[in-house]
Amino acid sequence: MSKESTLEQPVIDFTEIETITNQGTAPKITGPVVANMPWQDRPEDSNDVMWRFDQNPIMGPREIPCALGVYNSGLLPYEGGFIGVFRVDHMDTVPFLHLGYSKDAVNWDVEHEPIPFVREDGTPSIIQWAYDPRLVEIEGVYYISWCNSLDGHGPTIGLAATTDFKNFTQLENAFLPFNRNGVLFPKKFDGRFAMFSRPSDNGHTPFGDIFLSYSPDMKYWGEHRWVMGADFKHGWWQGVKIGAGSIPIETSEGWLSFYHGVTSTCNGNIYSVGASLHDLKDPTIVLKRSYTALLAPEMDYEVSGRVPNVVFPCAALADAETGRIAVYYGAADTHMGIAFTTIDDVMEYLNNEKPREHCS
């Protein structure tokens, strides 16, 4: 007489299998190898996720005869070296954009005259002031975005294009006033350009969230979407306003963005640096973000200057082979510095970020 088997079928935990499969899969930077980018290992006595270059500041007052300060600037690898578009505050305090060249991305030769932009019809552009540029390459064309005056009616996002860094064509302003911190993505999404920005006011803006906009042609911008906001639940350091910083870095985990956050004190605003991770296909989806600041004003050149207590990221170099990242930031609206991290360090930090528990 045969008996039915009473053995239970094993229960397979697919979640556990997936976890085991993914163990040892390190995050990767998607992009070029930049072997000659600046780098220093983390100091032995430091546990910081982001650490400063020991030769900071790399730029400051009177870098060129007309300059009160050189800071908040964009740069990228170019023809075996590096090229940058720099915010230069002139001796009358009006900021303009200047081109600069470097072999090592530390020591820079900045041109003494502002970039001579021309309009699309070939006539000279009239730039009343220009500041906080970002620089990105998209499909063989180099684009500059900056905070630009819209015919004296307030700040908006200016745009320009070049293929050789000799001829610069100013495009239409992206938005109506008031807007700042326009940061383009280095890739298109379904054939569309994409840009972070921060709608603002005509002053120092006691508010501000990050939005995303799309354009089919770098002229007409729409499909505006809210991305993430400033609030105290993510930390007092970013409780007043936030703004996009460096060009987003494509990684295996998502788009990595370094942004600035602002808190207000009885002695004025304090600007710090945080990080966020965005979905590769839809950057409005925030996968992870900072609750604590990665970098805050501490050094003399960050807490003392024309606008004290500011660290303001505007550019980043990333090496796909080593995972190294160098973030360039403005310090106290006077100097320029570099801070280092790695994709492993940033991802471990973001994976472990969580809101502060109530002290009670």
Q: What is the pLDDT along the chain (360 residues), one digit of tens a residue?
A: 443 434 344 444 544 433 333 445 899 999 999 999 999 999 999 999 999 999 999 999 999 999 999 999 999 999 999 999 999 999 999 999 999 999 999 999 999 999 999 999 999 999 999 999 999 999 999 999 999 999 999 999 999 999 999 999 999 999 999 999 999 999 999 999 999 999 998 888 889 999 999 999 999 999 999 999 998 889 999 999 999 999 999 999 999 999 999 999 999 999 999 999 999 999 999 999 999 999 999 999 999 999 999 999 999 999 999 999 999 999 999 999 999 999 999 999 999 998 876 544
- What is the residue type of 314? C
CA 179 to CA 147: how far, in whole Å? 8
Question: Do the beta carbons of residue 218 and residue 171 sit within 8 Å?
Answer: yes
> Cα separation of 15 and 264, whole Å?
44
* Domain-wise residue ranges, the chain: 58-352
- Name 200's Cβ contacts closer than 8 Å, sequence gap at least 6: 155, 178, 179, 180, 207, 208
Q: Between 3.40.50.10490, 2.115.10.20, 1.10.10.60, 1.10.10.10, what CATH number should domain 58-352 receive?
A: 2.115.10.20
| C-alpha dihedral (54, 55, 57, 62), degrees to nearest 10 | 170
